[in-house]
Amino acid sequence: MDLTAAFNSRFNRPPALIARAPGRVNLLGEHVDYNGGPVLPAAIDRAVTIAAAPTTDEIVHLYALDLQEEATFALYRLEGKAGLDGDPLPRWALYPAGVAWALRRAGLAVQGLEAVYTSDVPIGAGLSSSAAVEVAFAVAWQALGAWDVDRMALARLCQQAENQYVGVNCGLMDQFASAHGVAGHALYFDTRSLEWEALPLPTETAIAIADSGVRRSLASSAYNERRAACEQAVELLRRYLPGIQTLRDVSPVEYAAFSGYLPEVVRRRAEHVVREIDRVHSAVRALRQGRRQAFGAYMFSGHASLRDLYEVSTPELDALVAIAHDLPGCIGARLTGAGFGGCTVNLVQEDKAPEFIRGLETGYLEKTGRQAQVYLCRASDGARVD
């Protein structure tokens, strides 16, 4: 059943609008966002899609088509994170409820809603399905309320929903990319200044995302340890570079001069961040100049850094990158997301993509005994309402 038919069946009327927000993949710039650095994501052609219509009361009726679950909550009683029946909202419903909460706190009109939604963004694969849900509901409520808020402000409200309502300490990249995507382009995003620029990806290329099938069991504690190591590096480097706020402010030359004063583990973590930020800037120049092999080389070196210096890779992710490196049509590959499982992202020649995917799936099964799910994607436009 398609989404419009499902809405009709559920609520006995046609939807007033269809809202869509894509997932995203990060091509380069990993673990630099909390160090004030730039990232290079792309919105992908896998999205959360909502069929919705306003109601005359302040009640939100949600039906998650993929889960075949429903939730109903009141806009005037969002603080308790409970449904109309008083039971805690299921986790999937916290994301739209959090968006309503953040929008209302910002003084924006949020109406009662009937909504059915579906997603082809894989959950748990590191492609930001939660941010896509948030942005899709945000643009739906914006269209219904006819209020004027720019996309960056909307993305920040969605981040606020996830941080303060859902309780996940994410950066802004995911919501930014879902809201601002440009078809065929990567998005250079400065997480400190919030300046951004769309950069064309090499022509006749596609993005293949390979799910290792390993979920991030250690990610939370290890993520916190790495954040702490970066903060410790800044404290120690301030003796020599008194003006720095984050590792973003340390150049590779300065790092080379003063890294010897850092403890070994802290030194490795900081080296990844400083070099990764420099790698993003180099990759931007490569995209502007149409040097796709250079861009791919930066992806491979980014993976090596995440593996050896930041130590967030896994044998399965390393296997996927090593196999990809030797396949015809592969331009670049690396792990994407926090690491400790999840996915790799591969930039491949479009005409060789089917052969590449077959080779990657076969090679991964032979090497690890695991099945890899590989998704062929293209960089897509950001959220929209039809």
Catalogue the active-site residues. Answer: 174
Q: Which residues are CB-neighbours of 125 under 8 A, at least 6 positions away?
A: 209, 211, 342, 343, 373
Amino acid at residue number 38: P
Structure tokens at 174: 């995911």
| b/e code 81-99 from CB counts within 10 Å (16+ = b) | bebeeeeebeebbbbbbbb
Nearest to 172, CA basis, from 188, 155, 187: 155
Cα angle 152-380-276, degrees, rounded to a multiple of 5:
70
How many beta carbons lie within 10 A of that of residue 9, not counting itself? 11
Tokens 């997301």 correspond to 337
Residue 337 CA from chain centroid, whole number: 7
How many beta carbons lie within 10 A of that of residue 386, not counting itself? 9
Structure tokens at 317: 């992710």
